[in-house]
Each structure stands twice: as structure tokens, then as C-alpha cells.
Amino acid sequence: MSPPIDHPCLHLHVLPGAFFVRKLEPKQVGDTLQKLFLSSDDDGESFLSVTRTFEELSVAGRYKDGMPEGYKELASWRAIKIAGPMEFDLAGVLSGVLEPLKRAEVGIFAVSTWNTDYVLVAQENLRTAVETLKADHWVFASE
């Protein structure tokens, strides 16, 4: 059964601003992350996700002036947020968003948090992603 995509907690939002995605070596935690956290001040607009595994350190976030060198060039992504918060037993939400994007051949980078999920798409694919999701009956909050 598909999630009830007309429920307000499942409405989609295109977040403002440019986002970056970067892969680092697992041991690059020190200075790089400290600089990212310091440049992502708590202004209500901050977004920074860090995932460390045995093989890598993945960092995704909203680009802001003052971030370490090299991040501006990576800020070629846009973020679509599922409104949330969602209960953990609400199954299939992220796959429900990703399936139509897969059919439209839109590559993604997904970030999950306690409250919700975010789908990052390349800036040049944002229009296709939004149109595809609307055609699949997802509701965007600004409408």
C-alpha cells in the first residue's frame, strides 16, 4: 500500500539555496568538519548531514559563503524535503518518492533524519524531478 501522499506531513518542499555533496576519507573528520560546522551557524537555514562508515565520510549540506575552499564548486544540488515529521511505521515514503524519479532517470542523493527525508537532485534535474513527482500525485506545499 502506498503512503497517503495527500497528508500534510508528506507534502514536498523545494528548499531554497544550493546544496553540496562530498565524499571524504574516513579520517578527514577533524579540521574539515570543524570548519563546516562553524560555517553552518544556527540561523534556521542550516543543513549539514555527516555520515561516516568504514569506507568513507559523506557530507551533504546547504552551501554558504565562508565554507572551506572547494565547497562552492560542489554546490550544484537542490533539496526536496518531505514535510514530516513522520512516524517510523509509515512504510514506503522514501521509495514512493524515489520510484518516479528512477523512471524519469533522475539521480538522487538521499538524506534521512529522525523526522523526515530529503532528496537531493542535481540543479539541472530539479524541474524534471518536480514535474515527475507532481505527475505522480505528490503535493508540493507551496501550492
Q: What is the pLDDT of residues 61-97, one digit of tens each?
A: 999 888 888 889 999 999 999 988 888 877 888 999 9
Other residues' Cβ atoms within 10 Å of the Cβ of residue 11: 18
Average pLDDT score, the chain: 85
In the structure, what pLDDT confidence band is assigned to residue 143 with cuts at 50, 70 and 90? very low
CATH number, domain containing residue 101: 3.30.2130.10
State the cell numbers at 55: 569506507
pLDDT of 71? 86
Q: Are 3 and 91 in contact (CB under 8 A)?
A: yes
Cite the beta strand spans of 15-133 per DSSP E. 19-24, 48-52, 57-62, 77-82, 108-112, 117-122
Q: What is the pLDDT of residues 19-43, one digit of tens each?
A: 999 988 777 665 666 666 655 555 6
- Which range has the worst mean pLDDT, 53-62, 114-123, 127-136? 53-62
Query: How much is the pTM?
Result: 0.87
Largest CA distance in the chain: 46
Listed residues 29, 59, 75: the one ending a domain = 75
* 40 and 83 belong to one structural domain: no
Domain that holds residue 141: 1-18+77-143
Which single residue is written with the C-alpha cell 534556521? 44
Torsion of CA 34, 39, 40, 44, to 10 degrees: 150
Total tally of structural domains belonging to the chain: 2
